[in-house]
């Protein structure tokens, strides 16, 4: 995939990593197979896309990588031990890689969404709990996919040219 994009366009300027799954259940009821599945999608995919892309960006001496983390990776949520661990890994990956490549013209940042409505994750929340979750958010509502997309766009644009190694929290005040 990376080689095909490079061949077609001659360069890669932006990479956004947004692949993720979660299997919500108490850790005591989780299996190693579920753990491996979450780590494969949420972390291995990060390595598999960033590693070849960063080689191209290093040759270009420019580029921008935006990884999508989660408020769960910053604070941990009940029933999401594996997902929280994976998303905390995305945050550590982002900060460490930024230290390695920012001096070579590559910016690396993360967006950390809170609860976003209309997603595979929020759609699993039973209706009776959605109102309770919304009440726990200082802005009293779930975010929208468009709000997260705008944060990613900002970090991928030249408007954020002096930002690297940061986690932009887009969570309605849920995690501060």
What's the pLDDT score for residue 119? 75
Instruction: Map residue 12 onto helix, strand or coil.
Output: coil
Of 83, 107, 108, 164, the active-site residue reads 83
Residue 132 CA neighbour count, 13 Å, CB half: 5
Tokens read off for 37? 């599945």
Give me the mean pLDDT over the 74-95 stretch. Answer: 96
Q: What is the per-residue pLDDT across 111-137, written as a single tens digit (0 to 9) for each?
A: 999 999 877 667 777 788 888 889 999
Helix or strand run (H / E) with residue 71: helix 71-75
CA dist., res. 173 & res. 176, Å (int): 6
In tens, the pLDDT along 129-174 reads 888 889 999 999 999 999 999 999 999 999 999 999 999 999 999 9
Overall average pLDDT of the 7-12 stretch: 96
DSSP for 108-172, please give it.
Answer: EEEEEE--BTTSTTGGGS-HHHHHHHHHHSTTSS-B-HHHHHHHHHHHHSGGGTT--S-EEEEST
pLDDT per position as a tens digit, 11-61 = 999 999 999 999 989 999 999 999 999 999 999 999 999 999 999 999 999
Q: What is the pLDDT of residue 120?
A: 67
Active site residue 162: no
Domain borders along the chain are 2-170
Helix, strand, coil percentages in the chain from 3-state DSSP, rounded to 5: 55, 15, 30
Q: 17 — phi, psi (to 5°)?
A: -105, 115
Position 81 pLDDT exceeds 80: yes
Q: What's the mean pLDDT in 69-89?
A: 95
Residue 167 pairs in a beta bridge with 110
Q: Tokens for 57, please give them.
A: 């960006």
Classify 2-170 by CATH class: alpha beta
Residue found under tokens 């940061």: 166
């Amino acid at each position: 995939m990376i080689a095909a994009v490079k061949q077609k366009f001659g360069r890669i300027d932006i990479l956004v990593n947004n692949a993720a799954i979660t299997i919500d259940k108490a850790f005591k009821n989780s299996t190693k197979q579920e753990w491996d599945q979450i780590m494969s999608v949420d972390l291995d995919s990060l390595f598999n896309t960033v590693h070849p892309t960063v080689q191209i960006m290093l040759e270009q001496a420019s580029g921008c990588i935006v990884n999508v983390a989660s408020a769960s990776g910053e604070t941990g949520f009940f029933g999401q031990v594996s997902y929280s661990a994976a998303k905390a890994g995305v945050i550590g990956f982002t900060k460490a890689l930024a230290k390695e490549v920012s001096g070579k013209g590559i910016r690396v940042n993360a967006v950390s969404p809170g609860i976003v409505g209309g997603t595979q994750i929020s759609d699993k929340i039973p209706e009776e709990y959605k109102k309770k979750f919304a009440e726990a958010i200082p802005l009293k509502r779930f975010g929208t996919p468009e709000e997260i997309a705008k944060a990613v766009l900002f970090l991928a644009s030249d408007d954020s040219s002096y930002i690297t190694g940061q986690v932009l929290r887009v969570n309605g005040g849920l995690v501060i």
